Amino acid sequence: MIDYQNILHTIYKSTGSETDRRTVAKYIPELAKINVHKFGIHLIDNEKRSFSEGDSDEVFSIQSISKVLSLTMVLGLVGEDLWKRVEVEPSGDPFNHLSLLEQENGIPRNPLINAGAIVVADILVSQLDNPKQDFLKFIRDIANDQGINFDSKVAKSEKETGFRNFAAANLLKSCGNLKNDVDVVLDFYFHQCSIQMNCSQLAKTFFLFSNRGKCIRDQSYLNINRVKRINALMLTCGFYDEAGEFAFEVGLPGKSGVGGGIVALLPNTFCVATWSPGLNKKGNSKLGMQALKNLTSDTGLSIF
Amino acid sequence: MIDYQNILHTIYKSTGSETDRRTVAKYIPELAKINVHKFGIHLIDNEKRSFSEGDSDEVFSIQSISKVLSLTMVLGLVGEDLWKRVEVEPSGDPFNHLSLLEQENGIPRNPLINAGAIVVADILVSQLDNPKQDFLKFIRDIANDQGINFDSKVAKSEKETGFRNFAAANLLKSCGNLKNDVDVVLDFYFHQCSIQMNCSQLAKTFFLFSNRGKCIRDQSYLNINRVKRINALMLTCGFYDEAGEFAFEVGLPGKSGVGGGIVALLPNTFCVATWSPGLNKKGNSKLGMQALKNLTSDTGLSIF
Amino acid sequence: MIDYQNILHTIYKSTGSETDRRTVAKYIPELAKINVHKFGIHLIDNEKRSFSEGDSDEVFSIQSISKVLSLTMVLGLVGEDLWKRVEVEPSGDPFNHLSLLEQENGIPRNPLINAGAIVVADILVSQLDNPKQDFLKFIRDIANDQGINFDSKVAKSEKETGFRNFAAANLLKSCGNLKNDVDVVLDFYFHQCSIQMNCSQLAKTFFLFSNRGKCIRDQSYLNINRVKRINALMLTCGFYDEAGEFAFEVGLPGKSGVGGGIVALLPNTFCVATWSPGLNKKGNSKLGMQALKNLTSDTGLSIF
Amino acid sequence: MIDYQNILHTIYKSTGSETDRRTVAKYIPELAKINVHKFGIHLIDNEKRSFSEGDSDEVFSIQSISKVLSLTMVLGLVGEDLWKRVEVEPSGDPFNHLSLLEQENGIPRNPLINAGAIVVADILVSQLDNPKQDFLKFIRDIANDQGINFDSKVAKSEKETGFRNFAAANLLKSCGNLKNDVDVVLDFYFHQCSIQMNCSQLAKTFFLFSNRGKCIRDQSYLNINRVKRINALMLTCGFYDEAGEFAFEVGLPGKSGVGGGIVALLPNTFCVATWSPGLNKKGNSKLGMQALKNLTSDTGLSIF
């Protein structure tokens, strides 16, 4: 049996001693205030045993990580119809580029880039009675934790400064791939991204993707086919323009957010969440990437 | 002396008999209602003699033609500082593409594409006390016609459907090249584009560009250097992705609008306006292009 | 224990009954002559048991599948230095686009697109005494089959018509990322692509990627880290602009070629090769894609 | 009457005193050897009076300026059929970008970018018995100067290093827009670009574009319609990615080459050639641009 606690401890010590942590995301003013020295890690194995190191109980903004959860919810609501409005191909472009979207007539490359997640948000706004509350309840239930919440300050901050998302949403609207008002969809989207979790909550939430669709409470949220497909999407598209690098160096499906969180998983084995707010130049947590690289090389575990 | 009346008559007869007039711009609902069979032409020579044919007294929405007028006004207010925020190169792209704008960090290629004109509008909003009224007064004075007005229905229609302009403005904002609120700038921009003129008013307004900067009332609005530069911009950038074709086939500086208007001029000789709302696939008036082509081949006049 | 023979038989029957097989690759004249009705499949499991259906003993041109083998050889020769000259990111573009290459100053997106494979070929030409013979020997040894050979007619056919590869190689050369003469590198590259195998040989050759780096003769060619990385590259970049779709629908690392071959594998479990020369519009074998989709859904096996 | 000699003298003194002359084109080894301090100017007015300053009798490589001459010759041979294989729109891209060419299926944006000029060269190769000799004779006749010649060293130098032109030609070939062998077409193209002229010869050669199609010997080479169209093309496309700037600042049709030459003209008035081998970062002669700017501002002459 693998001694995860010992492995996490070693990783925490070696990775955490890194002094160059790059800088915190600046383009969302509220996120720019975070202490760059935070670093936490939490792993839950498929026997539901938990292992932690560092600041694993401190909440942070999960940001783009939420896109996997909105995708999960939307598949339950509309199923394969989703794929008429968004593709499943890697984008080969940084996370905020509009060029491809324009060239491809408003069909986003995949649901894990901003434009694709905005289309997913649009469908949720159409499908749900109380989109924000219903989505929050969905996540709380998966995580089995009613304490999870939006950070309304962060949502407001993005609303005031997220001009590139407004550009993307308007471009989608001009192409006929956004049904609701831009402001309504983005209000939902900014709230979705503002959800706060700590590493422990994040690992518990994504546990279902390593557990054949069953959440921590053993309730089934996805059939195995959809689990596999979402894992495939995370692997090919989960890290902006660094997805290939992550697959190549780490070899696990995962998703990062500009808040500095990363979650990754090995099917039928474990789910792990890291948090360190300093981002590399491609927008992924520098220490988180390093920690996960060490995890798969130390354990010899990966999907490949 | 050239018999302009006879030439216009011949052009009107031959061009006007064209039955395939393409279709009216559809993307602004109010413009989609216009009768595709309208066709007018008005020429004013540098002795201020006027010549008309067809529906030259019926007003239409000048749309993008207004960009030359806002450029003229902004140059009077901030001078060469403008060129820190917008370039003077042809775009090599259809009129609404955001790709180049994104690649070039929010500095629009020239002030006659939408993104460039939105930057010009932003400066006018910053510089003017009552932007809409002051701009309207500026145009009325140049044209010596106090009857010129906005069409508030058209402005409202664009506001409700101009998602691609909202996308461009938000992209500019995200790049730091828009100082005022997106909504405020676009409200001004949509009003500017909604200005209504007939061919006679349009030719009179642009008379100054063929008259070394002096308007129809002999008042000087631009020094000769700026006149030359604006004419150069019209020649290289005045017809969306068909600027080369227009220079090649017609050989005059000019500007078109999706309302079906075109204005063109030969320095020190004449200024001519046409209106026919059927657009070719590049967004320029089909009959207007044809009429101007005939005008320069029949008269043997062009800048080249 | 999984009854692979029965599964293959079922897949062969259901997939092979498909009448719309799309068309054979036309752009290489020699390949255009292949009979579109051919269809074979061969699977070898990690106990080295083999299972076949259909035309699994007929040779075909492996084409782009050879890129994985040249990558394997070059890693053994220059190691991680390779990554100074080629990236590991999905390209988000069809297999022959030069645009990204130009934008990114001649550093190809990954070694499995044409431009990247040409850089790999350039290094082999520099490193090997007799590049073509040495490469062929390398493959024969891995496959444990001295009957594997180039198809010189196909190589010649590509040399005469592969203008886009000449364009890519010259662009690389202009960027300083090709050390040898364009003609010499492409002569090697076209021979590499012309290698002929049948499904059985192909499965045996790629067996090492499912067997932790050890070939069919139990000789180790790659350490486990490199095996994982090559598998990751196949998953994210192995299917031109359909890599996401393949990961999403099939969930196995693999590589396709325009000759109609596909090879895919599940680490520690099996390696499978299919051949059907009719290509879908993204350039991948239509029946091969379908057969592998059925294989993972019927067996419930995938890396996710 | 304008005192051109005095104006040229003033321009030569003020412009020539500029110490920062940028650097000579490096990418063609033979051109890199030229002395950056050379500076000459020659103007011929429409009464065939000539005015010179500086190194106006020293020959240099006309390079891209030759594209206007091959265009002139090809129009005489195939007429408007040319426009099936090349467009007339500004490219909005630096002179050597392949991206647009690829997006637009091998139809170059205009005949004055490299790809367009290579298509023109291909037609000349098809049409002429002895392409190189016939082309040279054509130019010698226009210039009325049998001393004009190729510089075979420069042609050879480009052949050995012009990888980007080989890339463009192969891309054109792959799109079906090149009929002859790449090597044959580029051999012609590199010779065409290597033609040597001094400022005086260059001004005399282009005199016909300011003289309604009649050359210095009063022989007619082009009808007035074609003269106008070529002048329009020079204005909109003659200066790589700085065509707008040149139209805006200078206001004359013209063409530059990386050898440091520029030729420009005012219809019915004059033709002027400058040479200074130091290029600005857009690839145009720094001092030449400055001298022509001064010329039109000092004389008050421009097409606008």
Closest chain D residue by Cα to residue C105: D97
Neighbours of chain A (3+ CB pairs under 8 A): B, C
Residues of B in contact with A174 (CB under 8 A): 163-164, 167
d(CA B295, CA B6) in angstroms, rounded, equals: 11
pLDDT at B140: 98
Average pLDDT, chain D: 93
pLDDT at D93: 60
Do B158 and B28 touch, CB atoms closer than 8 A?
yes
State if pTM tops 0.90: yes
Interface of D with C in 140-169 (CB under 8 A): 163-164, 166-168
Round the CA-based radius of gyration of chain A to a whole number and report it.
18
User: Exactly one of B240, B250, B255, B272 is catalytic; which is it?
Assistant: B240
- Please report, rounded to a whole number, the percentage of residues in chain D having pLDDT higher than 90: 82
Two tokens, residue D15: 């412009």
Residue B283: CB atoms within 10 A of its CB come to 19
Annotated catalytic, A59?
no
B69-88: pLDDT as tens digits: 999 999 999 999 999 999 99
Phi, psi dihedral angles at B61 (to 5 degrees): -80, 120
**Do D167 and C164 count as a contact with CB atoms less than 8 A apart?**
no
ipTM of the shown complex? 0.92
Phi, psi dihedral angles at A57 (to 5 degrees): -105, 5
Q: Is the pLDDT of residue A174 over 90?
A: yes
Residue A264, strand partner residues: A254, A272
Shortest distance, CA D223 to any CA of chain B (angstroms): 12
Two tokens, residue D304: 């606008």
Mean pLDDT of B194-212: 98
Residues of A in contact with C89 (CB under 8 A): 90, 92, 241-245
3-state secondary structure of A196: strand
Q: Which of A226, A267, A86, A111 is nearest to C297 (CA)?
A: A226
Two tokens, residue C215: 């070939």
Phi, psi dihedral angles at D178 (to 5 degrees): -145, 120
C124-156: pLDDT as tens digits: 999 999 999 999 999 999 999 999 999 999 999
Q: Is the pLDDT of residue C265 over 90?
A: yes
d(CA B207, CA B268) in angstroms, rounded, equals: 10
Interface membership of C97 toward D (CB under 8 Å): yes
d(CA D21, CA D277) in angstroms, rounded, equals: 8
Residues of A in contact with C237 (CB under 8 A): 244
**Do B304 and D242 count as a contact with CB atoms less than 8 A apart?**
no
D83-105: pLDDT as tens digits: 999 999 887 665 457 777 877 88
Q: Is the pLDDT of residue A96 over 60?
A: no
d(CA A174, CA B164) in angstroms, rounded, equals: 6
The dihedral through the CA atoms of C102, C107, C110, C111 has a sign that is: positive
Q: Higher-confidence residue: C92 or A129?
A: A129
Q: Higher-confidence residue: B60 or B281?
A: B60
| Distance set, CA B251 to CA A177, B232, B247, C213, D226 (Å) | 41, 11, 4, 68, 11
Do A148 and A136 touch, CB atoms closer than 8 A?
yes
Closest chain D residue by Cα to residue C160: D181
Q: Is D242 exposed, middle or buried (0-12, 13-18, 19+ CB in 10 A)?
A: buried
**Nearest CB to C109 within list A92, A237, A304:** A92
| Distance set, CA B148 to CA B59, B60, B73, B145 (Å) | 9, 11, 17, 6
Of the candidate ranges B74-78, B236-240, B284-288, D261-265, the one whose mean pLDDT is the lowest: B236-240
Interface membership of C301 toward D (CB under 8 Å): no
Two tokens, residue C11: 């897949």
Q: Higher-confidence residue: D90 or C263?
A: C263
Interface membership of C102 toward D (CB under 8 Å): yes
The catalytic residues of C are 64, 67, 189, 240, 258
Q: Is the pLDDT of residue C50 over 90?
A: yes
Closest chain D residue by Cα to residue B268: D304
Average pLDDT, chain A: 93
Of the candidate ranges B64-73, C21-30, C160-169, the one whose mean pLDDT is the lowest: C21-30
Q: Which of A70, A120, A59, A41 is nearest to A285 (CA)?
A: A41
DSSP state, A220?
A: B
d(CA D75, CA D69) in angstroms, rounded, equals: 10
**Do B248 and D233 count as a contact with CB atoms less than 8 A apart?**
yes
pLDDT at A102: 78
| Beta-carbon pairs below 8 A across chains C and D | 51
pLDDT at A92: 63
**Nearest CB to B109 within list D92, D227, D303:** D92
3-state secondary structure B145-196: CCCCECCHHHHHHHHHHCHHHHHHHHHHHHCCCCCCCHHHHHHHHHHHHCCE
Neighbours of chain C (3+ CB pairs under 8 A): A, D
**Nearest CB to A102 within list B98, B166, B182:** B98
Half-sphere exposure of B216 (CA within 13 A, CB side): 22
Mean pLDDT of A46-61: 96
C-alpha A201: how far from chain center: 13
Residue A214, strand partner residues: A220
d(CA D43, CA D273) in angstroms, rounded, equals: 6
**Nearest CB to D174 within list C164, C173, C182:** C164
B15-65: pLDDT as tens digits: 988 878 777 877 778 888 889 999 999 999 999 999 999 999 999 999 999
Residue A234: CB atoms within 10 A of its CB come to 29
| Beta-carbon pairs below 8 A across chains A and C | 109
Q: Is the pLDDT of residue B99 over 80?
A: no
**Nearest CB to A170 within list B97, B103, B167:** B167
Do C111 and C72 touch, CB atoms closer than 8 A?
no
Closest chain D residue by Cα to residue B267: D304
Q: Is the pLDDT of residue C93 over 70?
A: no
Mean pLDDT of C24-41: 86
Do B304 and D209 touch, CB atoms closer than 8 A?
no
pLDDT at D134: 98
**Do A89 and C241 count as a contact with CB atoms less than 8 A apart?**
yes
Of the candidate ranges B10-19, B284-293, C22-31, the one whose mean pLDDT is the lowest: C22-31
d(CA D19, CA B104) in angstroms, rounded, equals: 31
Do D165 and D97 touch, CB atoms closer than 8 A?
no
Residues of A in contact with C212 (CB under 8 A): none
Two tokens, residue B127: 């510089």
Mean pLDDT of D282-294: 94
Closest chain D residue by Cα to residue C103: D99
Two tokens, residue D263: 């030729």
d(CA D245, CA D247) in angstroms, rounded, equals: 6
**Nearest CB to C90 within list A92, A267, A302:** A92
Interface membership of B292 toward D (CB under 8 Å): no
Mean pLDDT of A14-43: 86
Interface membership of D182 toward C (CB under 8 Å): yes
Torsion over CA of C114, C119, C121 and C125, rounded to 10 degrees?
Answer: 160
Closest chain B residue by Cα to residue D297: B225
DSSP state, A288?
A: H
Shortest distance, CA D168 to any CA of chain C (angstroms): 6
Within chain A, residue ranges assigned H as helices are 4-16, 66-78, 99-103, 114-127, 131-143, 152-161, 163-174, 182-193, 199-210, 224-237, 243-249, 286-299
Q: Which of C134, C249, C246, C139 is nearest to C195 (CA)?
A: C139
The answer for residues whose C-beta is within 8 angstroms of residue D160's C-beta and 6 or more apart is: none
Interface membership of A233 toward C (CB under 8 Å): yes
Which of A163, A172, A185 to mutate against chain B (most B CBs within 10 Å)? A163
Interface membership of A35 toward B (CB under 8 Å): no
Q: How long a stretch of residues is chain D? A: 304
**Confidence bin at B93 (pLDDT 50/70/90):** low
**Nearest CB to D89 within list B92, B232, B249:** B92
Mean pLDDT of B126-133: 98
Two tokens, residue D134: 């016939």
- Please report, rounded to a whole number, the percentage of residues in chain B having pLDDT higher than 90: 82
Per DSSP bridges, beta strands A50-54 and C254-256 are unpaired
**Confidence bin at C97 (pLDDT 50/70/90):** confident
3-state secondary structure of B40: strand
Q: Which of B50, A140, B260, C96 is nearest to D103 (CA)?
A: C96
Interface membership of B105 toward A (CB under 8 Å): no
Interface membership of D91 toward B (CB under 8 Å): yes
B103-118: pLDDT as tens digits: 788 999 999 999 999 9
pLDDT at C70: 98
Interface membership of D102 toward C (CB under 8 Å): yes
Average pLDDT, chain C: 93
Residue C179, strand partner residues: none
Interface membership of B98 toward D (CB under 8 Å): no
